[in-house]
Every structure is written in C-alpha cells, then in structure tokens.
Amino acid sequence: MAQGWLSTLRELYEGESERANRFRYGLLYFDIGTIIYVVATSFTSHGGIIPIIDVVFGVVILADFCARLAISESKMRFLASPITLADILAIVSFLIAVAGGGAGFLRVLRTLRLLHTYQLLDRLRADFPFFRDKEALLTASINLAVFLFVMTGLIYATQHRTNPEIANYVDALYFTVTTLTTTGYGDVLLKGTTGRLISVGVMIIGVTLFLRLAQVIFRPQKVRQPCPVCGLTLHDADAVHCKHCGTTIHIETEGGY
C-alpha cells in the first residue's frame, strides 16, 4: 500500500505524463497564489478570517513538504537544503500565524526551484513559444524578480514591527528598489545592524543580478538548436556551424533553412 502511494507521488512530482505536468502546473499556480496572498495580507491587520486562511495554506504546504520528503532519495540531503529550510519556516509561519504568515514570502524560493526543474522547463518550452524563444531573458528577469521579492519580504518581516517607515510590502519594496538602483533617497532607512547588513546584501547581490539581466537584453540573441554531435544547445541566430565541434547545423528561420 505504502509503495503504491510512493510510486504515485514520484510519478506526479518527477514523471513525464500529462497528469504529472498538470500537477506541477498546479503547484506553480499555488506557489504564485501564496506569494500574492502574503503580499496582500501585509496591508491588513491579520484579523478576522486571515488566521484561518493562514492555517489552510500551512496545511497544504506541509502536505507538499511531506510528499517531497517521502520520495526523496537522500532524506538528510533534502532536509539540509536551504530551500527546504525556507519551506519549514513558511509552514511554521502559516500554522502558528506568526505575523500573519510573515515568513511565507520564503515560499518564492520553492517557486524558483520549481521553475528550474527540467520537467517544468521542458513543458514551458513546449507549451509557450514565447518562453522557448526568450528563455534566457525570462530566466534572468525571474532571478532578479525573485531576489527583489525575497529581500523585500525579509525587510518587511524583520522591520515592520519596529520600523514605522516599513508598514507594508510596498514600503519594503520601495527601499529595496532605491537601494538596488543606488538612488538612495534616504527617506526610508532600515534600523539596526541587521538592517544595515540587509542593505549591503541588496546592493552587492542585486546589482550583480541587474547587470546579468542587462547583459541578456543587449547581447546578440541566441536560438535553441541542439547540435546533433556535441549537444551544444544555444547558437547565434545566423550560425551555420556549431562553434564547439564545427558540425553543420540547420536553424529554421522564417526564410527557410
């Protein structure tokens, strides 16, 4: 009986069937919904029905966590993963209703990992031609957006109780963006040593990701055309030969080969 459940879970999380693809899309939509919920509730007093919704989110994330732990080949490695730790903090945050799910913003790290799994990437390439053509640009944009969201959430979670200038996610996002772009108006400041360390992280890591996005935007566009000999995937749009092994490649264009 247990083996049957494990086989079903492994097929859903790691399989290539249509049902597995729909399931992973469902996880992606749920993760995005969680993120939207965390941002939206930062503008509320966390009263009324909010604690009940927090518990529902927590139970669903806990079930997902237990399923992934059950099918993991190395449970110790799984538990030691930083993304697993982020999930645990999100679960505790929702179930205990700490700051109305304040650590729930860490769920975005799970979303990032899901987006980088080869099963979902292959499905996105197959289902959305725009994603296939602009994968490098979209990946760089997602990495920067995730960084912005994580740092904004971290700033909100650590500052909103003690810093009157950080009342909601918009205030935290405003600080993150002005720091990342080195604009630094100075009207919003983080308090304490922790706040200063977060500011340093935003400037160092954020600028690196921003420059990566700019590089993708302005460098010559490459197309995905696997070389039949060496397997090199990305080539210049006008390439005739593989840069790695010299094999003739045929890149389909609007004008033919």
Does position 256 have pLDDT exceeding 50, yes or no? no
CA atoms within 13 A on the CB side of 3: 0
Question: From residue 157, how far is each of 11, 106, 167, 198, 256 by CA, in Å?
Answer: 36, 10, 10, 12, 54
Of 143, 114, 138, the closest CA to residue 206 belongs to: 143
Cβ-based neighbour number of residue 15 at 10 Å = 17
Look at residue 93 and tell me if it is in a domain. Answer: yes
| Main-chain dihedrals φ then ψ at residue 207, nearest 5 degrees | -65, -40
- In sequence order, the 6+-apart residues with CB closer than 8 A to the CB of 89 are 103, 106
- Please report which confidence band the pLDDT of residue 129 belongs to, taking 50, 70 and 90 as the band edges: confident
Instruction: Determine, yes or no, domain membership for 77.
Output: yes
Residue 243 pLDDT grade (very low, low, confident, very high; cuts 50, 70, 90): confident
Is position 250 within any domain? no
For range 157-171, the mean pLDDT: 83
How far apart are alpha carbons 164 and 158 in whole angstroms?
A: 12
- How many whole angstroms separate alpha carbon 257 and alpha carbon 241? 13
Residue 115 belongs to domain spanning: 1-132
Highest mean pLDDT: which of 59-63, 139-143, 222-226, 238-242? 59-63
Q: What is the pLDDT of residues 14-73, one digit of tens each?
A: 888 888 888 888 888 888 888 788 777 777 766 678 888 888 888 888 898 899 889 888
Evaluate whether residue 82 is within a structural domain: yes
The residues near 190 (Cβ < 8 Å, ≥ 6 apart) are: 155, 159, 163, 166, 175, 196, 198, 199
Residue 257: which pLDDT band, with cuts at 50, 70 and 90? very low
**pLDDT given for residue 197 in this prediction:** 87
Q: What is this structure's pTM?
A: 0.62
Task: Please count the other Cβ atoms lying within 10 Å of the Cβ belonging to residue 225.
Answer: 18
228 assigned to some structural domain: no
Examine the pLDDT at 115 and tell me if it is beyond 80: no
pLDDT for the residue 121? 67
Q: Which of the four pLDDT bands, split at 50, 70 and 90, describes residue 100? A: very low
Task: Please report the beta strands in the chain, taking only residues with DSSP state E, as ranges in sequence order.
Answer: 222-224, 234-236
Q: Which of 51, 133, 135 is nearest to 99 (CA)?
A: 51
- How far apart are alpha carbons 255 and 111 in whole angstroms? 38
Domain count, the chain: 1
Write down how long the chain is: 257
pLDDT of residue 145 exceeding 60, the answer is yes
Question: Is 25 domain-assigned?
Answer: yes
Higher pLDDT, 99 or 213: 213
Instruction: Flag whether 36 is in a domain.
Output: yes
Is there a contact between 157 and 39 (Cβ–Cβ < 8 Å)? Answer: no
Q: Percent of the chain at pLDDT above 70?
A: 80
Tell me whether residue 38 is in a domain.
yes
- Other CB atoms within 10 A of residue 108 CB: 24
Return the beta strands (E) in 63-207 as ranges: none
**Average pLDDT score over the chain:** 77
User: And the tokens for 240?
Assistant: 């005739």
